Structure 1
Amino acid sequence: MQIGIYGYLDGADNFCIDLHNGHSFSSHLRIIFCKISAVNDYRRGNRLHLLAVLKYELMKFPLSIFTYNRLVSFIHSNQERRSLNDKFSIKHQSKSYYFTSEETLNSRKILPLIDSRYLIFFSINLAVVISLVTFINSDNITIKEITIKLKDLPNNATGLRFALISDLHIGGYVNLDQILMVVHRVNSKDVDAVFIDGDIVDGQRDDISEPFKTMRHIYRYLRSKMGTYLVTGNHEYYFGNAIEWLDYFKSIKINVLDNRNVNISGICLAGLNDYSSGRSGITDHKFEIERAIENCDQNSPVIILSHNPASAKEIAFNIRNLRVDLILSGHTHAGQFYTIAPIVYWFLPYFHGLYHVSSHTQLLVSAGTLYQGSPMKMLFMSELWIISLDSSS
């Protein structure tokens, strides 16, 4: 049995999964990943999307196994016919109660609390409550304000206010209503400039063509004194040709910072292609720090938009030791789900909030303005950052 994965993975070298029945164990399930490097255009980036999804699912796998085992134990609990004393003896050995007092452990009142059926019902109810809370909160955009001090800040730049948007993921479950809400929240703060820090799209160009027809007009209503600036995230390379997306953004008067910079009131604002762009298959399109900031005035503050905070140290400690004062990122979603957040926090060097990457470089990581995939987000984590600049001595 062979399963081909088509759509945006089309072409002569389809990314395929081949399930084959045979006599040996290894041939019972044979998975063949057609080489991503078989193509040298934007399709390579598209194929990386599937690997990203697989990696995400593997991250959730331990929790899924735990949940499955608990449910199975509940289903078979009536067949276990153990005496009360046998059950008590088994539960008594639980490491979870290592620090429980001896008096409590010797009391049979604890049995209902450690009974598998009680734990199953408790887990299900907790899951339902968390799901409802995160679903309701997903579109509840929280405005978070922060003042960041920069050295050598020009007098005319003191007090500048920027709106930081990231991870809109238009397509899928994000539609025009959510985008209109974001525009309204930005306009209510009367900012000097708007920064869109990657992952603006989450679907094929044709799939989300209707929302984008209206987006041309929406961005005309996105008000700021100095304009809107955008960099790519990893998702721009997952759906079609990223260059076509960038051309579209330029056509609706968004300033695309693809490894280049602009001057805003004496501040060098630079934008980098996503950290993964070098693997996208697009010719001469990659993550280039020095190219983006080489002509920035080294006596003035340098602010960089870079979607993935994993790039922060490489930016701060760049080869030519060029000045970088502030990096603005997104990407992590702060885990997005309560069940995933601890894993993300554990594995990522920069999770959410303000960090000092070095003595001279700060990093602000946004949890994202909206969400990817399921319309769920942890409380107060659908966020719009309003950044005010101040001078440090």
Structure 2
Amino acid sequence: MPVVSPASRSQSAPTRHTRRNFLLGSAAAAAGVALYSGEFARHHIDVTQRTFAIRNLPPAFNGFRFVQISDIHLEEFTEEFFLTQVVKRVNALAPDLVLITGDYVTNGIQSTRVSLAAAGRCGALLNALDCPQRFGILGNHDAVLDPFVVRDHLQNNGIPLLVNQFTRIERGGQHLWLGGLDDILSGHPNLDLVMPPSPDAPVIVMAHEPDYVDAIVKHPRGKLVDLVLSGHTHGGQIRLPGLRPFKAALPTMGEIYTEGHYNFGPMQLYVNRGLGTVGLPFRLNCPPEITVATLRPA
């Protein structure tokens, strides 16, 4: 039998304690990060101010302000109290227009019946938005669950959804064109249908999945689009400081343009980080976002 000297015992004990302390410290740190990202960070709203310089902007729209929100994902992880808080924050900003770029609910672990019922509650909560106009589009989760039911719930609460459609936004006797594409992953998007044949004013297009912007750039009528608004990516949800999101955390058609402002010549893209979460109820270095956009002439 090997003999363990007193000196060996005195060296091994601190080693065991050091390893145990490290493991305990690591577990505590992981628990702390989980608590922070799951309870505080995912409810800490970032109100992001953006200015977009738009070519041929009608003078009446100089200083026009709209709010973009996206990816609510009510019920699976996003609580009703949080969406109520978001609506209050948006109302306090007093925008001229609110745009919602899809995914009101989640096609996830809950049953389809429960998720579609959540769409009704989402519409009812969004009905408290008191801005002059509000419009939305479908997201991939909405389109997979039941686009018609989700659309009805939103429209019955005063939020028309533009699905390969466009509308005129008027101000001071002048106008802009606002279009909304059908969901790219689960629908049939058609850029020809989201603007007039010959637009006589700037064109803003809502497209849930941001990577579709490459198809818009290549489209014969893509040069007529001034601004594309997207969501879908959640910004990656969990990020390390100063680094791009983990690729595994990014969805299909949201792997290239992950968040923020991009330029494609005269056309611009803005990707909102969204409000909710999928997969896990965590956000880290990637807070939920309310975008406040101001239009200025280019």
TM-score range, shorter chain: 0.7 to 0.9
Whether 1:184 and 2:82 are equivalent positions in the alignment is no
Q: Secondary structure at the match of 1:238?
A: helix
Counting only pairs closer than 5 Å after superposition, residues 11-50 of structure 1 correspond to structure 2 as none
Q: Secondary structure at the match of 2:74?
A: coil
CA contact (8 A) 1:194 1:228 kept: yes
**Deviation (angstroms), 1:182:** 1.2
**Deviation (angstroms), 1:202:** 1.5
Q: Could you tell me which residue of structure 1 aligns to residue 194 of structure 2?
A: 292
User: After superposition, what is the alpha-carbon deviation per residue over 1:122-164, rounded to whole angstroms, capped at 9, x for unaligned?
Assistant: 5433322221221212112121111111010001111111110
Q: Could you tell me which residue of structure 2 aligns to residue 220 of structure 1?
A: 127
Whether 1:270 and 2:185 are equivalent positions in the alignment is no
Read off the aligned partner of 1:177 and give its amino acid letter.
F
Identity %: 26
More helix by share: 1
Partners in 1 of 2:116 and 2:185 — Cα distance? Answer: 25
Q: Secondary structure at the match of 2:269?
A: strand
**Deviation (angstroms), 1:118:** 6.8
For residue 350 of structure 1, the aligned residue among 257, 266, 281 is 257
Q: Could you tell me which residue of structure 1 aligns to residue 162 of structure 2?
A: 257
Q: Secondary structure at the match of 1:195?
A: strand
Q: Could you tell me which residue of structure 1 aligns to residue 30 of structure 2?
A: 127
CA contact (8 A) 1:230 1:271 kept: yes
Q: Secondary structure at the match of 1:169?
A: coil
Q: Which runs of 5+ in 2 are unaligned?
A: 1-14
Read off the aligned partner of 1:292 and give its amino acid letter.
V
Query: What is the alpha-carbon root mean square deviation over aligned residues?
Result: 3.0
Q: Secondary structure at the match of 1:277?
A: coil
**Deviation (angstroms), 1:326:** 0.7
**Deviation (angstroms), 1:211:** 5.3
Q: Could you tell me which residue of structure 2 aligns to residue 369 of structure 1?
A: 275
Whether 1:245 and 2:150 are equivalent positions in the alignment is yes
User: After superposition, what is the alpha-carbon deviation per residue over 1:279-307, rounded to whole angstroms, capped at 9, x for unaligned?
Assistant: xxxxxxx111122224351x421111111
Read off the aligned partner of 1:293 and give its amino acid letter.
M
Report the CA distance shift for 1:150/1:295 in structure 2 as closer, same or farther (over 3 A).
same
Q: Could you tell me which residue of structure 1 aligns to residue 233 of structure 2?
A: 332
Read off the aligned partner of 1:381 and give its amino acid letter.
P
User: After superposition, what is the alpha-carbon deviation per residue over 1:138-197, rounded to whole angstroms, capped at 9, x for unaligned?
Assistant: 112121111111010001111111110100001212232112111101101000111010
Q: Which runs of 5+ in 1 are unaligned?
A: 1-111, 279-285
Which protein has the larger Cα radius of gyration, Structure 1 or Structure 2? 1
Read off the aligned partner of 2:148 and give its amino acid letter.
I
User: After superposition, what is the alpha-carbon deviation per residue over 1:329-349, rounded to whole angstroms, capped at 9, x for unaligned?
Assistant: 111111112379332589821
Report the CA distance shift for 1:221/1:290 in structure 2 as closer, same or farther (over 3 A).
same
Q: Secondary structure at the match of 2:52?
A: strand
Whether 1:163 and 2:67 are equivalent positions in the alignment is yes
Q: Secondary structure at the match of 1:255?
A: coil
Question: Which of the pair has the greater relative contact order for Cα pairs under 8 Å at 6+ separation?
Answer: 2
Q: Which moved more, 1:121-130 or 1:137-146?
A: 121-130
The two structures have a TM-score, normalised by structure 2, of 0.81
Partners in 1 of 2:119 and 2:186 — Cα distance? Answer: 23
Q: Which moved more, 1:373-382 or 1:158-167?
A: 373-382
Report the CA distance shift for 1:219/1:320 in structure 2 as closer, same or farther (over 3 A).
closer
CA contact (8 A) 1:269 1:304 kept: yes
Q: How many residues align?
A: 273
Read off the aligned partner of 2:55 and give its amino acid letter.
K
Partners in 2 of 1:377 and 1:186 — Cα distance? Answer: 21
Q: Could you tell me which residue of structure 2 aligns to residue 36 of structure 1?
A: none
**Deviation (angstroms), 1:235:** 0.4
**Deviation (angstroms), 1:328:** 0.7
Q: Could you tell me which residue of structure 1 aligns to residue 211 of structure 2?
A: 310
Q: Which moved more, 1:369-378 or 1:256-265?
A: 369-378
CA contact (8 A) 2:52 2:294 kept: yes
More strand by share: 2
Report the CA distance shift for 1:255/1:228 in structure 2 as closer, same or farther (over 3 A).
same
Partners in 2 of 1:140 and 1:371 — Cα distance? Answer: 13
Partners in 1 of 2:41 and 2:198 — Cα distance? Answer: 40
Read off the aligned partner of 1:350 and give its amino acid letter.
Y
Report the CA distance shift for 1:217/1:248 in structure 2 as closer, same or farther (over 3 A).
closer
CA contact (8 A) 2:74 2:122 kept: no
